[in-house]
Amino acid sequence: MKGVILEIAPEAQIIDISHAVQPFDILDGALIISQAYSYFPSGTVHMVIVDPGVGTTRRPVLMTGDRHLFVAPDNGVLSLIYDREERVSVRHITAEHYFLQPRSNTFHGRDIFSPVAAYLAKGVETSKFGEEITDYVRFGAPRPKPVDERTLRGVVLKVDRFGNLITNITPKDAPQLFGVDPPAFKIAIGTKAQATRICTNYAEGSPGEVFGILGSTGFLEVAANRGSANQLLGAGKGSEVNVVMEG
């Protein structure tokens, strides 16, 4: 894929954001790109490919946001970016003369997305690649829900490489947790232990303690200082999270 890009756009600077998305895990890919893209310079072209889903079932799309361009299969992997950008235009990429020839049925990253991204990086206008569409695939990220007056229920979106459990709960969902003098609360994942306070950095936790922390992604994480909350709690991706306000 990088060879194809450089053949067309020799001046392009290619940056790998992640090759660690699990195959088929579109939500994981959506999370990673939504947390990274805004830090890149204006005009950056992002290729966001989660395999498979190639072939007849997923048309290639080109999205223009406020400051960035994205090429991706139309499988929802850009959903969280549609949410964040003010101006969104999505085109179905149909201009086959920009594709690599001969084109395989199975490696669209190399044969479709790479050359299209390279021509975009060279300044070819987005309108040249296909018509605008409105029926693109867009899923809603799972949102936390109140269970009763005291309890908010969310889910673990992913486990990072330190074993921190990243939930889908933001400060907007549970503002009490992040105030200056928060009331007593418990964050329960699994049955082995509960977090009862919010730390402001990972090193603040006591050894063996699990605690809440506002992660760099804007979500509530449950973490352990120099340890793995993932292992300590026996919980992982998809685990239920209950935030219970006490008293």
Closer residue to a second copy (CB): 134 or 200:
200
Q: Which residues bind a second copy (CB under 8 A)?
A: 1-4, 6-7, 10, 13-15, 17, 23-24, 36-41, 44, 51-58, 104-107, 110-111, 161-162, 200-204, 213-216, 225-226
C-alpha neighbours within 13 Å on the C-beta side of residue 209: 15
Pairing verdict, β 89-92 and 145-146: unpaired
CA angle 29, 33, 34 (to 5 degrees): 110
Least distance to a second copy, CB of residue 23, Å: 5
Least distance to a second copy, CB of residue 166, Å: 11
Closer residue to a second copy (CB): 37 or 185:
37
Least distance to a second copy, CB of residue 56, Å: 6
Closer residue to a second copy (CB): 6 or 95:
6
Q: Which residue has the tokens 């992660």?
A: 215
- What is the Cα–Cα distance from 131 to 8, expressed in whole angstroms? 23
Q: Among the residues of the chain, which ranges form H helices? A: 2-8, 26-36, 79-84, 108, 114-121, 229-233
Whole-number Cα distances in Å, 14 to 17, 69, 131: 10, 14, 27
* 62 three-class SS: strand
Least distance to a second copy, CB of residue 187, Å: 17
Q: For residue 77, what are its two tokens?
A: 């992997």
Least distance to a second copy, CB of residue 188, Å: 22
Closer residue to a second copy (CB): 23 or 247:
23
Closer residue to a second copy (CB): 91 or 110:
110
